[in-house]
Chain A
Amino acid sequence: MEGLYDCECLTNAYYQCIEKMNLMAVITDKAFNIVYANASFCDTTGYSKEEVQGVKPNILKSNEHSVMFYDNLRMTILAGMTWRGTFKNRKKNGSLYWEDASIFPIEVDGERMYVKTAVDVSNRQKMASEKEKDTMLASMIQTSLLPANLYNEDITIKGYYAPYENVSGDIYYWQALNDHQYCVFLADVIGHGVGSALMTTAIIALVTNLMNLNPAPDVVLGELNNRIMDLFKTKDLSQINYFTAAYLLVDTREKMVQFSNCGHPKMYIVSNEGVEDIQEINFPVGLFADVEFSFANYNYTNDMELLIYTDGLIEKDLDKEEEIRVLERLLEKESLSNSSEGLLENVVKDMVISDKEHIKDDVTVISVKLKAGD
């Protein structure tokens, strides 16, 4: 045989092909009564060919989809177009299954008929749903690691934390060491998603321990760097893991802040005297072994507020330099005003909440408000 030119032979070949293929196929007449269902349909749904003959496909209906969902389907195929989508349907035994389906009209001897082809994707849906549950759990665990806002007479520490996905590559931590010393730590792990979030949990475990052993910035960061290098040691050079960080050691008795930036954006000091930025540049943490970390001192004599943030605040789908200017203008305005709302709340409102569509990374902002006293 040179080819399937004989009509009867071709029809037979098509029939066998549809009957034996690993894809569900159903044909209805113009009134949506089933006139044909293939073997794969019967295997998946549990209905025999005889049981579905002449009945409507809504015997599979699970009532899990909206009226709008079915209206859209009906309007698409009645307009002569192909509808594609995912159904959650019910088998004969009552159990539910997912199918990716295509439904389209055909003309046979001048009569309109409708064809549905579908593939069972229940395993894929189950995996997606389990992944979602895992991610939600990871998100809950990560959020539970964040400290509560701290309000003392001479210091207030507040944080804002917005993961780009469910979990974040950003993490922060602060702690009162005694009645006058406080540590504040903010880290931004390379990338985002579950991998970065897992790394943040390791970082927090290490940094809380180190803060309590010796809170000096150079000691905490140097030791953290060594431990991270050890922890994520790999011979595969493409598996690089590192993070940028900002660290503060505040002494409210001495009125002094010791600070260090490790590949991290500069910090801002806002007071009624204006806005200034401070930065003590160091390598990011986890890039190079055995490097030394430096810190600088800032003595405050007036009440002031220190703002630390991760670069998601200024790295949007927009001009980064302009975003920095917007932030600085906002801080200038804040330094002149006696707004009842706080600096952190206003930065978040203007640069995150009202600009959500441009955010493309995790965003964290921390404010440390210090009272200089009399």
Chain B
Amino acid sequence: MKDVMPVISKVENNIQTLQLNGRMTYDFIDQYEKHIKKGIVNADGYIIDLRAIEQIDSTGLGLLVTLAKYFMNNKGKMVIVNTDALIHELFVVSKLDQIFKISDSIVESIKIIEDKDEVFWTGI
């Protein structure tokens, strides 16, 4: 995966957006982990934007679960932005659609994070 910045971070109104790019697969997963670990800031909510992801495999899914567990332990609200049908299918067959908050846009994700009645995953 050349010339692709795997993670681009932006913080606005105390919400951090992590835009993930490229292939979240076994060969590249270390790069995502390294950038995410380094880049996470204290925020009220986190948006994981997968719209520029070309491919995701079981190691990529594992990293998303790791993030969800991390934010759950740190009382952060995490919303995933995804518009890809194959990635959604992966969430469904692994039941992760029941764990993750998933939306199709950044605007919608901000609304979910700011909605005080929204119930986020607290661990099972």
B17-46 interface code vs A (CB 8 A; 1 in, 0 out)? 000000000100000010001000000000
A283: interface (CB < 8 Å): yes
Report the Cα distance A341→B95, complex, angstroms.
37
Q: Is the interface of A mostly helix, strand, loop or mixed?
A: loop
A240 in contact with B58 (CB, 8 Å) = no
A-contact bits for B88-124, CB 8 A (1 contact / 0 none): 0000111110010000000000000000000000001
- Contact at A191–B59, with CB atoms within 8 Å? yes
B92 and A242 contact, CB distance less than 8 A:
no
A246 CB to nearest B CB, Å? 11
Given contacts A191-B59, A238-B66, contact A290 B124 (CB under 8 A): yes
Contact digits for A235-263, partner B, Cβ 8 Å, 1 yes 0 no? 00110101010000000000000000101
* A244-B58, A291-B124, A321-B86 given; A191·B95 CB < 8 A: no
Residues of B within 8 A of A311 (CB): 58
Asked whether, in the complex, the Cβ of A237 is within 8 Å of the Cβ of B95, the reply is no
Known: A190-B58, A192-B26, A290-B124. A240 touches B94 (CB 8 A): no
Check: A264 CB closer than 8 A to any chain B CB. Answer: yes
For the complex, give the distance between the alpha carbons of A311 and B86 in Å. 13
* B interface majority secondary structure: helix
Q: Is B86 touching A284 in the complex (CB atoms < 8 A)? A: no
Please determine whether A190 and B93 come into contact, CB atoms closer than 8 angstroms.
no
**One of A263, A266, A315 near B94 (C-beta < 8 A):** A263
For A283, list chain B residues within 8 Å (CB): 94-96
Docked CA distance A361–B59 (Å) = 12
Q: How far is the CA of A76 from the CA of B13 in the complex (A)?
A: 63
Decide: A238 near B124, CB < 8 A? Known: A281-B93, A321-B86. no
Residues from chain B with Cβ under 8 Å of A290 in the complex = 124
Bound Cα distance A242, B26 (Å): 14
Q: Which residues of A contact B (CB under 8 A)?
A: 188, 190-192, 237-238, 240, 242, 244, 261, 263-266, 279, 281-284, 287-291, 311, 315, 320-321, 361
Q: Which residues of B contact A (CB under 8 A)?
A: 26, 33, 37, 57-59, 62-63, 65-66, 69-70, 86, 92-96, 99, 124
